[in-house]
Chains A and B, each alone.
Chain A
C-alpha cells in the first residue's frame, strides 16, 4: 500500500469515528436525563483525534525505521553470505537492489543486485503490510478507547481544546526554531571557516581573493574582507542614502504638509509601488540602462577607466528602491509630532517651510534617524541589485564610477557554481553571512530603540 493511500485510509477512519461518536453523543442527549458537558461535535472531534493521531505518529516513526529493518532482514537471509565483506561495495549492491525492488531502476548492473532484488521486494512488502496492520490496529484501538469514554459528563471540549492550544503554541515556536536554525547554521559553518582562517585576518585583512585560495595558494591572507565591507558601506550606506534620504524626506514632507488629500491618495500608492518592484528587476534595470549611461557620462567628463559596472549605478538604483521606505518612516514620525507645536509655530508668524525646518524636523529627528538606520540595514542586505550591477572587483576606492563588490555579492559568488562543502571558499560565505546578520540585527535593535524612546517622549 502506498503512502498517500494509507494516509487517506486513516483520515477516512477518522471521519467515520467523528460521525459515529457524534451520533452517540446526540443519542445520549436525546434520551438522557442529564445535560451533556460538551457539544456532540466536540465528542466527535475527541474520538476522531484519538483515531487519527496515534496512527499518524506511528506511520511517521515507521517510515523512518522500516528501511533499516528491511535491510537487516535481507542481511539475515542465508544468501547474504555471498555479499562482499567490504562495507562500501556491500552498500552499493544493496542500494542497487533496493532501487530495482522499488522500480526506480529497471536493470541491474551488478548480477548480485539482481539476485537480491526479489529478497528485498519480499522483505519490503512484509514490513509494509506489518506497518499498515499496526497503524490500523492503533487507529481502531485508539478510536474504540475514546468511543467508550463518551458519557454525558465527559469533558471532551476541555481535552480537544487543550490539543488546540498546544498546536497554537507549536506554531508560534517555529519562529524561535527558525531563528535558532539561522544562528546555529551560521555559527557552525563560520566556526569551521575560522578554524582554517584566523578571524583577525578575515575582519581586518585588506586582500580578498578567494579564487587564488581555491587554486591552492595559501589561504591565510586571501580572505581579508575589509574591501567587501567598504564596498557594502559605500553603496548601501553612502550612495544609496544620498539618494534616498533627501528624496524620501522631501516626498514625505510634501505629501503630509502640502499635498491636497486627493493628490496624496494617488501619489502615495505610486511611491509604494517602488517598494513592490522585485529587486531582480531593479538589478536588470541598473545593469541594462543606468550603468552604461553612467559610464558614458564618466568618459565624457574625462574619467578614462570608467567601468561598465559601477558603485554609482548600483547605489543610485538601490537608493530609489529605498525611497518609499524612508518616506513612510518620515511620514510616521512627522505625523507623531503634536499638532500644538505646529500651531504654535504658525501662530508666531512662521511660514509653513519655516515651521517644517525649525519645528517639525527637529522634533521628528529621532524617528527619522531610526527610519534611516532601518533603511541602511535594508540596503546592506540587498542582494540582486549589487550582484547584477556592482561588479566583483574587491578594491577600496572612493571613485563612484569604479566597480566595487559587496558582502552579498560575494556570498552569491562563492556559493553558486560548483561547491565542495569543506573548502574555505564555500565556508567564507557563511562567515560573511554571519557578519551581515549581526550588523543588520544591531542596526535594527538600535533603530527600534531610538524610535521607541522618541515615541514615549510625546505620549
Chain B
C-alpha cells in the first residue's frame, strides 16, 4: 500500500493529461466516428441487399407470371355445313360423344377453317390443339354441326408471345395483321386454373398438380399431426429419464436436420421397393413427407407444451385428476394453438418440397387430375420443376404463374400461422 502510494506522484509526473482539444486527438476521434458510421451503413447495406434480393425475385416472378394468367384467343369462323363432318347431331346426346367425334377428323376441319379465315399460314397461327376447343363447343351444343359458328380457339405460342410483347418479327407481323381484322383478343386464362399438364404451353393448367398437392398434404397431415402430437406429449410429460428416451430425442433432433433428399431415398427403398406401394402416388408422397414433417411438429409441440405453466398441472392433480386426464383435459387444449402454428409451418415446408418427391417418381407426365391417393399424381413444386425444363418458350410464363400460385398458398399458410399465434398466444 505504501509502495503504491509512493509511486503515484511519479507516474502522474511522467504522464501529462490527454489533451482532447489537440489536432491529433480530434483527428483520431473523427476517424473513429467515421468508422462507426461506415460499419453502421455496412449493416444497413447487408439488410437492404437481402431484402432487395427478395423483392427482385418476387418482381421477376410476378412480372413473368402475370402474363401466364392471360391467354390470346383467335375468333375462328367455322362453317360446319361445308366441312366434311359426317356426324349426326342427335347421336351426340349420348355419353360417348368423344368417341363419335373422333371419327369426324376435327383437326383437319380446324386446319381448313384456319386456312380459309386467316390465310394460307392460318394453321400455324392457332394452337395445335385448337380442335379441342371445337370439340368442346360441339359437345355443349350439337346443333352447331348444322350451321356456321365463330369459335374462340387459343392462339399459337408465338402469336401469344407477340401479343404479350415478346415474339419474333414474323410473329409480330402476323399478330398485327390479325389485330387489324379484329380477330384476336387477350383475356384471363381460366383454363390455367382448371386444366392439367399438357405438351402445348397454351393448353397447360395447374389443377392436376394442385389436386395432387392437396391429396399429398392430406396424407401428410393425417399421419404426421397425430403421431407428432402424441410423441411430443409423451416426451414432454411422461417419458422417464432413461436410455430409450435419450435415443428418441436424439433421433428426432437428427431427423429434423437430415437433408430432404435422404427422405426421398428412404421412400424409394422402403415404400416402393420393399412394400411395393404404387409408384408416383400421392399416398407414397404423403408418407415420405409425413416422416419429414413429424420431427418439426414434435419440436414445435414440445415447445408449446413446455410453455404451459406447471401450476395448471399441479391444480388438476390436486383435485384428483389422473396424469392422463391432466394432459388430455388441461395441458393439450392450452398448448394446441402453439402446436397448430408449428404444424402449419411444417406443412408449408412440405408443400414447397420437391426433391424427395422426385425420388419416388412423382415427376411423371400427368394429364388427368388424380382421382385418389393411389393414382399417379404430381405436385405443384414438381410441376414447376418439370415446366422449367421445357424448351418451348411459352412455358416460361406458365412456370412463373405456377410459382405465383404456390407462393400465394405458402404466404396464406404462414399468415394463418402468424394470425393463430397472435390470437391465441397466452402470456402466463
Contact = CB atoms under 8 A, between A and B. Distances in A.
Interface of A: 157, 161, 164-165, 167-169, 171-176, 178-179, 181-182, 185-186, 188-189, 246-251, 253-255, 257-258, 267, 270-271, 273-274, 276-285, 287-289, 320, 323, 351-354, 356-357, 374, 377-378, 380-384, 387-388, 408, 411-412, 415-416, 421, 429-430, 433, 436-437, 440-441, 444, 448
B385 A280 contact: yes
B258 interface: yes
A288 B348 contact: no
A375 B320 CA distance: 48
A357 B363 CA distance: 49
Contacts of A255: 47
A107 B130 CA distance: 36
A186 B265 contact: yes
Contact of B251 (A179, A247, A383): A179
A417 B311 CA distance: 58
B33 A351 contact: yes
B226 A278 contact: no
Given A173-B248, A253-B43, A320 B254 contact: no
A19 B348 CA distance: 40
A356 B35 CA distance: 12
B230 A171 contact: yes
Contacts of B140: none
B403 A281 contact: yes
Interface string B355-394: 1001100010000000000000000011011001000000
A175 B269 contact: no
Contacts of A185: 265-266, 269-270
A276 B414 contact: yes
B358 A416 contact: yes
A32 B187 CA distance: 77
B355 A254 contact: no
Nearest to A443: B257
A161 B231 contact: no
Contacts of B154: none
Contact of B53 (A179, A280, A283, A320): A320
Given A179-B255, A433-B261, A172 B269 contact: no
Nearest to B41: A254
Given A384-B385, A433-B262, A415 B46 contact: no
A383 B231 contact: no
A351 B60 contact: no
Which of A249, A351, A408 has its CB near the most chain B CB atoms (within 10 A)?
A351
Contacts of A179: 251, 254-255
A433 B159 CA distance: 46
Nearest to B245: A172
Contacts of A384: 354-355, 381, 385
Contacts of A377: 257
A284 B399 contact: yes
B106 to A, nearest CB: 29
Most chain A beta carbons < 10 A, residue from B43, B44, B266, B400:
B43
B51 interface: yes
Contacts of B305: none
B230 A167 contact: yes
Interface stretch (B5-13, B145-153, B233-241): B233-241
Interface stretch (B172-180, B191-199, B204-212, B290-298): B290-298
10 contacts: A164-B328, A178-B255, A179-B255, A250-B46, A258-B43, A273-B54, A274-B53, A278-B352, A279-B352, A374-B257
Interface string B42-67: 11111101110110010011001000
Contact of A381 (B44, B228, B234, B259): B259
A267 B57 contact: no
Contacts of A171: 226-228, 230-231, 234
A257 B33 CA distance: 16
B255 A175 contact: yes
B424 interface: no
B238 A412 contact: no
Contacts of A436: 259, 261-262
B348 A270 contact: no
Contact of B46 (A186, A254, A278, A353): A254
A279 B45 CA distance: 25
A380 B261 CA distance: 11
Interface string B386-413: 0010000000100110010011001000
Contacts of B414: 276
A451 to B, nearest CB: 13
User: Residue among B227, B234, B239 with the most chain A CB within 10 A?
Assistant: B234
A186 B247 CA distance: 20
B269 A189 contact: yes
B238 A247 contact: no
B63 to A, nearest CB: 11
B273 interface: yes
A157 B50 contact: no
A353 B269 contact: no
Given A356-B39, A384-B385, A168 B262 contact: no
B260 interface: yes
B385 A271 contact: no
A408 B261 contact: yes
Given A157-B322, A285-B57, A285-B61, A251 B50 contact: yes
B347 to A, nearest CB: 12
B322 A383 contact: no
B45 to A, nearest CB: 8
B258 A440 contact: yes
B36 A182 contact: no
B353 interface: yes
Given A168-B234, A175-B298, A383 B43 contact: no
A270 B51 contact: yes
A284 B354 contact: no
Contacts of B81: none
A279 to B, nearest CB: 7
B352 A441 contact: no
A382 B54 CA distance: 19
A347 B86 CA distance: 96
A109 B49 CA distance: 67
Nearest to A173: B248
A382 B261 CA distance: 8
A415 B40 contact: no
Nearest to B418: A269
